[in-house]
Amino acid sequence: MKRKMFLKDLGQKVICKMKKNLENTEVPKVVVVGHVDHGKSSFIGRFLFDVGEVQKEKFDELKKASERRGVEFEFAFLLDALQDERDQGITIDTTRIFFKTKLRKYVFIDAPGHKEFIRNMITGASSADIAILIVDVDEGIKQQTKKHAYLLKLLGIEQIITLFNKMDKVNYSEEKYTQTKFDLNKYLAEIGIKCHSSIPISSKLGDNIVSLSKNMKWYSGPLFVNVLDNFKVSETKISEVIRFPVQDIYKIGEKRVVVGRIESGRISKGTKLIFLPSNERVDVKTIEVWPKAKKEYVIGDCIGITLSEQIFVDKGNMASDTIFPPKLTNRFESIVFWLSEKKISSKKKYFMKINTGEYEVSVNRIKRVIDTENLNIKKNNTVYKNDVCELVIHSSQLIPMDDYSFNKSTARFCLLDNEEIVAGGIIDLKNYPDQREVKELPKRNITPENYSVSEIDRSMKFNHRPGIIWLTGLSGSGKSTIAKNVEKKLFKRNLNVFSLDGDNLRIGLNKNLAFSPEDRTENIRRTAEVAKLFTQAGFIVLVSLISPYRSERKKARDIRSELFREIYIKASVEVCSKRDVKGLYAKAVSGEIKNFTGISSPYEEPEKPDLVINTSIEDVDESVNKLEEYILNEFSF
Ligand code: ADP
């Protein structure tokens, strides 16, 4: 009996979420953005009045009150008054205004005056279906006009409606309208946003909003209301790739129900899922939706599921299909809108919210700050409030994430500093590898043979221990030069030594690998395995490989950690490009080579290398002697 009650309770919770969801998907969500004082509130007030959503008495009363106080009535007052009283037929809550035209229902999300729209949009509290950008035609395009347009672009909005307000202030000048429109369209084209329609309006007098202006004979339409009603809200494609962020776990007797909203793909009984970051695979055993579950659920549906096996699932985990799961990474690049007066600090820990997950992160590097005014890169890397910047972010945990080109909604995150939202952004993973450990390798009945000559026997004979000397650093930093010279010197001293060069391996063993993050990872794995074989043969192996990612070098170290030494061959990008031994930097700068470390692909400096050789300040002999001495100290008896 108790169990039934529980189930009912669960059912209602799920239904509640589903209802909320329906409300969200069926009514197009409209957001109005623009520079301060360009007329967002007046426009909404006027529009609600013109479509008949405001009672006449309310309007008259407000007009009289304004007259009494000797101030000119403004439609923005209407919005304030409605928000204060909320006694109208229309529903206003703190951030949303529901309204209808003759054709359909809508909701303005983030009522202006509330001033939270940027925060809400960035945090994903609301994502707009239709975006309207208002420009005061008299003042022209201002800083926030551009910033807000850029923000819409970051949030994945591809086309917008532009309203040129206050036409009455410029004597309804067609020329002024055409010029402002031209300027704005130029900017929108640069950032890749399409202008769906442009309309010259006056919120004050109601021109071209719901009825055609008598003052602009040169404009024959369309009216704003018609543009809105005809705006096709893009139907989200039902992707087969599953993303199901876990919102909660309900315990019902023995059952553990995993609850969440499907962000993409479809889920039914029997669907195979992988849970991240644990990387565990299970099947969907049942779907728990009250009163009766459908066969299949799709994007936007809120459901509860039980799993075929008891695995540890927590709020914030991401379930996905097993073929295209999100990457797991503890480092990523991002394009971020900085919302706080506080400066970014690399020493600070921020709280990152992504989908339903929360992680502690730090800002590793400010790659660049973009001037939204002209889209140039700012010379000085200081980030101020409302700046757009590119950051490299680091976490000590692995975070499941998608690149924003794959899915704008799951690739969105925000950063908090002591509960204040300081930034919102999108994830750019193209430069970083998946750090997932392959958990389930196919079982192939393999039994390794023991070697007949042991490693110790070999060491005793050669008079030194085997070792992996891993030289990491930018291209041209000096890895090969140092390795070749050290190899020669150690060989003369009768040590068993061999040099494995990244470029040489790429001609043979690794010739099927390119320079994507995944291929670089495989390149490192294979090289480390070859190095391991050499150590088993008793050799000291000098590996020269850029190996740009910390996580991958750690994996290489983990293969034989007691024999592994990380040597950082340090030289700045400037020094290496000046040397440009192989002419590669010139090609990378001209764009001929893509994913080139230091130029178009990241290099993560070692945090605690066993030895640093700074070739910017040392000459070749010094560097070679230093490494030779180090190896002799570490490995000879
Ligand atoms: P990598 O193998 O790291 O790509 P290379 O060894 O091919 O780099 O090239 C490094 C270049 O830098 C060579 O031309 C070398 O003469 C020069 N160089 C200058 N100083 C040093 C140094 N201290 N150690 C090694 N190379 C140096």
Residue 405: active-site member: no
- Least confident range of 80-84, 266-270, 543-547, 574-578: 80-84
- Report the candidate in 227, 231, 138, 151 with the shortest Cα–Cα distance to residue 188: 151
Q: What is the pLDDT of residue 234?
A: 65
Distance between CA atoms of residues 474 and 626, nearest Å: 19
- Is pLDDT above 80 for 89? no
Computed over every residue of the chain, the mean pLDDT equals 88
- Is pLDDT above 90 for 512? yes
* Closest ligand 1 atom to 475 CA: 4
Res. 445 pLDDT band, cuts 50 70 90:
confident
- Is pLDDT above 80 for 2? no
Q: Please count the helices (runs of H) and the strands (runs of E) in the chain.
A: 16, 25
Q: What is the pLDDT of residue 113?
A: 52
Q: What is the mean predicted confidence (pLDDT) over 463-483?
A: 97
Radius of gyration of the chain measured on its C-alpha atoms: 31
Q: Tell me the CA–centroid distance for residue 619 and ligand 1, in Å.
A: 9
Q: What is the mean predicted confidence (pLDDT) over 82-94?
A: 61
Residue spans of alpha helices (H) in 289-372: none
Q: Tell me the CA–centroid distance for residue 618 and ligand 1, in Å.
A: 11
Q: Tell me the CA–centroid distance for residue 439 and ligand 1, in Å.
A: 39
- Is pLDDT above 80 for 119? no
Q: Tell me the CA–centroid distance for residue 571 and ligand 1, in Å.
A: 9
Q: What is the pLDDT of residue 464?
A: 96
pLDDT, one tens digit per residue, over 151-194 is 888 877 888 999 999 999 999 999 999 999 999 999 999 988 99
Residue minimizing CA distance to atom 27 of ligand 1: 478
**Residue 521: enclosing H or E segment and its boundaries?**
helix 517-536
Q: Which residue has the higher pLDDT, 546 or 107?
A: 546
Percentage of the chain surpassing pLDDT 70?
A: 89
* Closest ligand 1 atom to 613 CA: 23
* Closest ligand 1 atom to 502 CA: 2
Residue minimizing CA distance to atom 22 of ligand 1: 620
| The pair of three-digit structure tokens given for residue 202, joined into one six-digit string | 């006056």
Q: What is the pLDDT of residue 547?
A: 95
Q: Tell me the CA–centroid distance for residue 479 and ligand 1, in Å.
A: 6
Q: What is the pLDDT of residue 16?
A: 42
What lies within 8 Å, CB to CB, of 619 at 6+ separation is none
pLDDT, one tens digit per residue, over 411-433 is 889 999 998 889 988 899 988 99
Q: What is the mean predicted confidence (pLDDT) over 9-27?
A: 48
Q: What is the pLDDT of residue 33?
A: 87
Which domains does the chain possess? 2-230 (3.40.50.300), 243-320 (2.40.30.10), 327-435 (2.40.30.10), 455-635 (3.40.50.300)
Q: Which one is catalytic: 547, 577, 601, 623? A: 547
Q: What is the pLDDT of residue 19?
A: 42
pLDDT, one tens digit per residue, over 477-494 is 999 999 999 999 999 999
- Is pLDDT above 90 for 87? no
Given a contact cutoff of 8 angstroms between Cβ atoms, the answer to whether 570 and 614 are in contact is: yes
Res. 14 pLDDT band, cuts 50 70 90:
very low
* Ligand 1 binding pocket mutation candidate from 477, 481, 489, 593 (most atoms within 8 A of CB): 481
Q: Is the CB of 502 under 6 A from ligand 1?
A: no
Given a contact cutoff of 8 angstroms between Cβ atoms, the answer to whether 470 and 553 are in contact is: yes
Q: Is the CB of 598 under 6 A from ligand 1?
A: no
Q: Is the CB of 479 under 6 A from ligand 1?
A: yes
User: What's 118-169 look like in SS3?
Assistant: HHHHHHCCCCCCEEEEEEECCCCCCHHHHHHHHHHHHCCCCEEEEEEECHHH
Res. 17 pLDDT band, cuts 50 70 90:
very low
Q: Is the CB of 499 under 6 A from ligand 1?
A: no
Q: Is the CB of 581 under 6 A from ligand 1?
A: yes
Q: Is the CB of 476 under 6 A from ligand 1?
A: yes
Q: Tell me the CA–centroid distance for residue 481 and ligand 1, in Å.
A: 5
Given a contact cutoff of 8 angstroms between Cβ atoms, the answer to whether 382 and 369 are in contact is: yes
- Least confident range of 43-57, 430-444, 595-609: 430-444
- Report the candidate in 560, 590, 564, 563 with the shortest Cα–Cα distance to residue 577: 590
Distance between CA atoms of residues 379 and 29, nearest Å: 38
What lies within 8 Å, CB to CB, of 228 at 6+ separation is 30, 101, 106, 130, 161
* Closest ligand 1 atom to 615 CA: 23
Res. 238 pLDDT band, cuts 50 70 90:
low
- Is pLDDT above 60 for 125? no
- Is pLDDT above 50 for 441? yes
Percentage of the chain surpassing pLDDT 90?
A: 63
Q: Is the CB of 482 under 6 A from ligand 1?
A: yes
**Pairing between β-strand 611-614 and β-strand 564-570 as defined by DSSP bridges:** parallel
**Residue 443: enclosing H or E segment and its boundaries?**
none
Q: What is the pLDDT of residue 157?
A: 83
- Is pLDDT above 90 for 402? yes
Q: Is the CB of 364 under 6 A from ligand 1?
A: no
Give pTM, 2 decimals. Answer: 0.75
* Terminal-residue alpha carbon distance, the chain: 76
Q: What is the mean predicted confidence (pLDDT) over 243-249?
A: 95
Distance between CA atoms of residues 569 and 82, nearest Å: 67
Q: Tell me the CA–centroid distance for residue 466 and ligand 1, in Å.
A: 26
Res. 440 pLDDT band, cuts 50 70 90:
low
Q: What is the pLDDT of residue 6?
A: 42
- Least confident range of 26-40, 46-60, 259-273: 26-40
Q: Is the CB of 620 under 6 A from ligand 1?
A: yes
Q: Is the CB of 570 under 6 A from ligand 1?
A: no
